[in-house]
Structure 1
Amino acid sequence: MPVHMITMPKWGLSMEQGQVNGWLKALGEKVGKGDEVLDVETDKIASGVECAFDGILRRQIAQEGDTLPVGALLAVVSDEATTEAEIDQAVEAFQRDFVPASADTADVGPQPEKAQIGGRTIRYLKIGEGGTPVVLIHGFGGDLNNWLFNHADLAAHRAVWALDLPGHGESGKAVEAGDADELAASVIAFLDDRGIGRAHLVGHSMGSLVAMTVADKAPQRVASLSLIAGAGLGKEINREYIDGFVAGSSRNTIKPHLTKLFADPSLVTRQLVEDIVKYKRLEGVNEALQKIAASAFEGNVQRKLYRDRLATLAPRTLVIWGAQDQIIPASHAQGLAGDVSVHVVEGKGHMVQMEAASEVNRLLNDFFGD
């Protein structure tokens, strides 16, 4: 068996380094493809680094507390037959040849852009080329960075677009009714403006409701629907979270609500909280979020549901949920009528596309199939 290297991943376009928070697998322990081996924190979020190989964890190169650049050696995986001398030789060769990318020379790749679409500013990001395009639609209070662990893997074989919905991120903050119809119309206008005739729509949370509304309004534009922790598939929603997110304006008032997004609350980093607080303080944000919330929810009940006709909205539909979702119950994934593919990921929460990025990316790529 060859000597396999686990290196510091690059999560998102701006990541340059990560800090090792701790090891999740012990030295000498068997590891499998998809197992989380250690925990790394970036300036955006903490997450587990997954192993891409089957074997035994033979070396823990990085130590807890180390801050290392993208691409740096973290661990070595091999089998029992590989000698210590062979591992020493492989590690020495890697370390000798590894050159960290500097801020001046790093290839940061595509960057978000902005365009005037339908009378408002829309920020978007495109990665990859060819294939049937994928369009990623974030949830309530989110932005295109909610997909930072997914962009690159999904763009390996196709063009992938992500946008900030009106009222969110760096798109224009003004909304009229703020309902799903208005947000869906902005997505259709985006497709028109970017020349995207037909796309796989991937929605997270409220973005799922928006994606289904696009499919309802313009079915010819939708190659498939992928709904992650989707709104619009059942009545219940954690209104306390929605109200707390809207009302929160400081680190102390908003962090307790953000921790509900993850099964592991330690994944909410200081930078993540500060980014949300900065967004919440922008002019027009609270008014937009209040309108969107009022149009989407009545008490603890979602107003607009597609559950009974989900299977008729698109040629194919995939539903993914985190079993420990504290915002929208994972039970909404059960009992869906028609030919709908459903995957519930154990031990993960509402932001399952971040917490279980590799698994979600595999499910999506297999589902797209092109």
Structure 2
Amino acid sequence: MTHPNITPIVMPKWGLSMKEGTLAAWHVEEGQTIVPGQEIMDVETDKIANAVEAPDGGLLRRRIGEVGLVYPVKALLGVMAPAETSDAEIDAFVSDFAVPTAGGGDEDDGPVHHFVHTPSGRLRYAMRPGEGTPTVFVHGFGGDLDNWLFNIDAAAAAGPAYALDLPGHGGSDKAIARPGLAALAEAVAAFMHATGLSDAHLVGHSMGGAVASLVALRGDGLVRALTLISPAGLGAEINAGYIDGFVAAESRRELKPVLKDLFADENLVSRQMIDDLLKYKRLDGVPSALRGLASAMFAGGRQTTVLTDRLAALSIPIQVIWGARDAVIPATHAKALPHAKVEIVETAGHMAMMEAAGRVNDLIRMQTQGAA
């Protein structure tokens, strides 16, 4: 039975590995009119907690999900419908709604991660299929492909989307022969060649922004457009205390205050996030890789590579997104490229793609579609 006037609200899927989430809070009441983009609830995963923005608008007729309970991805949490839709129709919709079960042949049942062998080592990546211009996500210092868990699925609406772990990070090989931006840019280019990608939209965060910029500056057709989120490489200033603290931290007590610099909302620094990073930092090869990168890129507490003059000569579209409350790299660097489209996100810190995922995703899609 179909119910064309009824719109479901479901547990979102953030990233390839998410299977379930906890409904942490409702921000809307039954009988309230919801507009697209409005924050309607909070969801917690084993990675991070975040607000869920409504993809569609309508009158909230029924809240089904209970705060504090765990629900699988795509489970029905609420129902929007016009006032003239009867309660009986809503009851029938709820009754007919099929809650997905693990292993049920869902399109997301394929491998969560893939690996490719390159001259830069074995690199881990995630991908989502799509039609159109490909998007490649490049994370920052100490990050991994899960930094894009709120973004990779949305980007696939405009074309195939990829997120990789740079050497020294995530599930990729930890050894970096010559630590520095050049080696990481070589790795991204090698990844793109190995996976058959070219003429792509590169999205880089922080250190990954400088890496993506260097790939674009190669001028070999790999990059069609750039989106740089709080990127390194647009000025010399950086919070050296964050870099040094991240590299040195060996315990939860040492790492937690450092990670607070990443977010405008410090509550996003979860225990699971801290534990995952500590586990990563204790892997063989990681401490030396991080020290090598920090020494090469942030010597003396400054960024050693500034790319503004070279980027100014690029003819491809460039957009810069910055959290106004960034405590790692100053948002004033967003003005360094006069020809770039600039968006300042007032509510976000250094991790705007997590704290303001809806807005950032819109900007990424528009840049991808505009470059097509």
Other-structure match for 2:244 = 243
8 Å contact from structure 2 (residues 103, 109) kept in 1: no
Report the Cα offset of residue 208 of structure 1. Answer: 0.4
Structure 1 stretches lacking a partner, 5+ long: none
8 Å contact from structure 2 (residues 347, 356) kept in 1: no
Report the Cα offset of residue 341 of structure 1. Answer: 0.9
8 Å contact from structure 1 (residues 6, 75) kept in 2: yes
TM-score by length of structure 2 reads: 0.91
Other-structure match for 1:229 = 230
SS of the residue aligned with 1:124? Answer: strand
Number of matched residues?
A: 366
Q: Deviations over 1:287-325 (max 9, x none)?
A: 100110111113332111122342323511011111211
Q: Distance in 1 between matches of 2:40 and 2:175?
A: 44
Alpha carbon RMSD of aligned pairs, Å? 2.1
8 Å contact from structure 2 (residues 136, 162) kept in 1: yes
SS of the residue aligned with 2:221? Answer: helix
Other-structure match for 2:44 = 41
Q: Is residue 7 of structure 2 the alignment partner of residue 4 of structure 1? A: yes
Q: How does 1:201-350 map to 2 (within 5 A)?
A: 201-334=202-335, 336-338=337-339, 340-350=340-350
Distance 1:54 1:99, change over 3 A: closer
Structure 2 stretches lacking a partner, 5+ long: none
Q: Distance in 1 between matches of 2:226 and 2:24?
A: 36
Report the Cα offset of residue 47 of structure 1. Answer: 0.9
Distance 1:359 1:91, change over 3 A: farther
1:21 maps to which of 10, 13, 24: 24
SS of the residue aligned with 2:309? Answer: helix
Q: Distance in 2 between matches of 1:91 and 1:299?
A: 64
Most deviating of 189-198 and 291-300: 189-198
Q: Deviations over 1:21-67 (max 9, x none)?
A: 11233444443211111111011111111112234444332222121
Report the Cα offset of residue 11 of structure 1. Answer: 1.1
8 Å contact from structure 1 (residues 222, 314) kept in 2: no
TM-score by length of structure 1 reads: 0.92
Q: Distance in 1 between matches of 2:362 and 2:214?
A: 25
Distance 1:119 1:204, change over 3 A: closer
Q: Is residue 62 of structure 2 the alignment partner of residue 66 of structure 1? A: no
8 Å contact from structure 2 (residues 235, 336) kept in 1: no
Q: Deviations over 1:63-101 (max 9, x none)?
A: 22121121222223345xx04x62453244224332232
8 Å contact from structure 1 (residues 232, 305) kept in 2: yes
Distance 1:350 1:95, change over 3 A: farther
Other-structure match for 1:99 = 99
Q: Distance in 2 between matches of 1:235 and 1:324?
A: 18
Distance 1:78 1:96, change over 3 A: closer
Q: Is residue 183 of structure 2 the alignment partner of residue 189 of structure 1? A: no
Amino acid at match of 2:167: P
8 Å contact from structure 1 (residues 202, 225) kept in 2: yes
Q: Distance in 1 between matches of 2:13 and 2:231?
A: 27
Most deviating of 353-362 and 201-210: 353-362
Amino acid at match of 1:135: V
Amino acid at match of 1:139: G
8 Å contact from structure 2 (residues 76, 99) kept in 1: no
Other-structure match for 2:112 = 111
Q: How does 1:164-175 map to 2 (within 5 A)?
A: 164-175=165-176
8 Å contact from structure 2 (residues 238, 330) kept in 1: yes
Among all aligned residue pairs of Structure 1 and Structure 2, give the percentage whose two residues are the same amino acid.
45
Distance 1:11 1:291, change over 3 A: same
SS of the residue aligned with 1:361? Answer: helix
Amino acid at match of 1:197: S
Other-structure match for 2:162 = 161
SS of the residue aligned with 1:231? Answer: coil
Report the Cα offset of residue 138 of structure 1. Answer: 0.6
Q: Deviations over 1:315-349 (max 9, x none)?
A: 110111112111112221135322x1111112112
Q: Distance in 2 between matches of 1:183 and 1:45?
A: 27
